[in-house]
Amino acid sequence: MNREEFLKELERLLADIPEDERKDALDYYYDYLDSDSGEDEADKIAALGTPEELAGKIKLASGVNSIVEGEFSETGYSDSMDTTYDVPDKYTQIAESNNTTGNSEKKYNIFGVTITKSVLILLLIIALLVIPGIFSIIGGFFGFAGRMIGKTAKLLTKVSPFNTEKSIEDTGIVTTDGNEVVIGEGKGIEDLDIEVGAVSFYIKESPDGNITVKYDNELKVVNKSDSGKLKLKVGRENNISDFSSDSTVELYIPNDMKLDEANFDIGAAKFVCDTSFTCNSITVKLGAGEAKFVKVTSENADLDLGAGKLTFDKLITEDADIDVDMGDFTMKGDIKDDLDLDVAMGNATIDLDSNESDHDYKVEVGMGNLDLFKTKFSGMGKSDKIDNDSESEYDIEVGMGNITIK
């Protein structure tokens, strides 16, 4: 089954969920199958399972029950997926046998094994000591599972569809020549708001100080508003019959450009920022694509990563909120004040300029691993606080993923 057949069958199976949720799900998985991750298309489809299995998971996340009819038989329960579940004929059998001779110790037969009263008491004592720990682990697991369901539902809304009309809104545009738009001098721009679909998008240093966009026929919107915000929206409508990832857009900006806000919403794109800039806040939302920034200096960083790969060769920020679902996050640089890092099933590697003693730490590890400088945390339900009498606090949480901070 190829990509088109798989997605058409998935669309048919999702006909009973709300239209907006169905469209978001199809958009996401189309981006995933079209992303350049190094895997063959057949391997990606195999990893998702059958359309029926994937549709069932999406319906579960959407709160739509999928009922599979079946019947009981003498051997168990069989459903339409040819799965048989054994119906046990008993759960517990405890038979007590009395010894009629003298002072013999009373014996019990449990699950076919005969044990003495003293052994039974010892087993009960051990159970009383172990059971609270087991319930603690189970509680932690279900808490983690609840967070994963929430993250899965959130992940399905990562990529927004784009306008279908190929148009250029020319408010503030200086010149338009073929497939090149000259916006004007960089000093007139205070905010960048860039939304990218399944294309190759590059931000490069401008040779003449002007902000210029070069593109092919995939450009949707270029808009410089009166408030000094440059908005670009590029990509193609995420549908099965009309989709392409071979388009290229290049945005040229002055090196070390100073901005108030820099917002990037990236779907299944290849995104590279080869020039440095400074801003008060940077926001990056990455779906199933790959994004790389050479150097960013910011007061605040809000980074939300789905199933893609996000890399900062250099990130210097005061505060950072980093959320990694199933992707890979890598950065070098520094987070000087507060960090809120949450990794579900992905990986995060942070190489800091500052020292371990420069921060306080609050750590919570589910079933994953955390390497915090020279200290390792692994296993289930690990939590700790490290007080270095610092005004900077790192709040770190890992579910089933891996975090390395060094």
Q: Which pLDDT belongs to residue 130?
A: 78
Query: CB neighbours (10 Å) of residue 95?
Result: 10
Instruction: Reply yes or no on whether the pLDDT at 74 is more than 80.
Output: no
Instruction: Reply yes or no on whether the pLDDT at 66 is more than 70.
Output: no
Q: Which pLDDT belongs to residue 22?
A: 86
Q: Which pLDDT belongs to residue 23?
A: 87
Q: Which pLDDT belongs to residue 181?
A: 61
Distance (Å, whole) CA 267 – CA 201: 11
Of residues 397 and 56, the one with the higher pLDDT is 397
Query: CB neighbours (10 Å) of residue 302?
Result: 18
Instruction: Reply yes or no on whether the pLDDT at 312 is more than 50.
Output: yes
Q: Which pLDDT belongs to residue 330?
A: 96
- The whole-number average pLDDT for the span 369-382 is 85
Q: Which pLDDT belongs to residue 90?
A: 29
In the Cβ-directed half-sphere of 235, how many Cα atoms lie within 13 Å?
Answer: 25
Task: Name the phi and psi angles at 6, rounded to 5.
Answer: -60, -50
Q: Which two tokens stand for residue 90?
A: 């008993």
Q: Which pLDDT belongs to residue 188?
A: 67
**% residues pLDDT > 90 (the chain):** 29
- Pick the closest to residue 198 from 396, 11, 394, 27 (CA basis): 27
pLDDT digit string, tens, across residues 327-340: 999 999 999 999 99
- The whole-number average pLDDT for the span 267-277 is 90
Distance (Å, whole) CA 90 – CA 87: 9
Q: Which pLDDT belongs to residue 144?
A: 60
Q: For residue 64, name the pLDDT band (cuts at 50, 70, 90).
A: low
Instruction: Reply yes or no on whether the pLDDT at 241 is more than 80.
Output: no
Average pLDDT, the chain: 75
pLDDT digit string, tens, across residues 295-306: 999 999 999 999
Instruction: Reply yes or no on whether the pLDDT at 91 is more than 50.
Output: no
pLDDT digit string, tens, across residues 46-57: 888 898 988 888
- Answer whether 13's CB lies under 8 Å from 51's CB: yes
Q: For residue 245, name the pLDDT band (cuts at 50, 70, 90).
A: low
Of residues 173 and 17, the one with the higher pLDDT is 17
Distance (Å, whole) CA 93 – CA 109: 8
Q: For residue 387, name the pLDDT band (cuts at 50, 70, 90).
A: very high
CATH-assigned architecture of domain 175-405:
3 Solenoid (2.160)
Range name among 42-46, 142-146, 196-200 with the lowest pLDDT average = 142-146
pLDDT digit string, tens, across residues 350-370: 999 999 999 999 999 988 899
- Answer whether 230's CB lies under 8 Å from 254's CB: no
Distance of CA 29 to the CA centre of its chain: 14
Q: Which pLDDT belongs to residue 301?
A: 97
Contact partners, residue 73, CB within 8 Å, separation at least 6: none
Distance (Å, whole) CA 349 – CA 329: 6
- The whole-number average pLDDT for the span 58-69 is 60
Instruction: Reply yes or no on whether the pLDDT at 182 is more than 50.
Output: yes
Distance (Å, whole) CA 389 – CA 391: 7
Instruction: Reply yes or no on whether the pLDDT at 213 is more than 70.
Output: yes
So where are the chain's domains? 3-60, 93-155, 175-405
76-79/84-85 β-pairing: antiparallel
Q: Which pLDDT belongs to residue 313?
A: 97
Q: For residue 134, name the pLDDT band (cuts at 50, 70, 90).
A: confident
- Answer whether 186's CB lies under 8 Å from 210's CB: yes
Q: Which pLDDT belongs to residue 288?
A: 83
Sequence length of the chain is 406
Predicted TM-score (pTM) of this structure: 0.58
Range name among 85-94, 125-134, 268-277 with the lowest pLDDT average = 85-94
Instruction: Reply yes or no on whether the pLDDT at 173 is more than 80.
Output: no
Of residues 381 and 405, the one with the higher pLDDT is 405
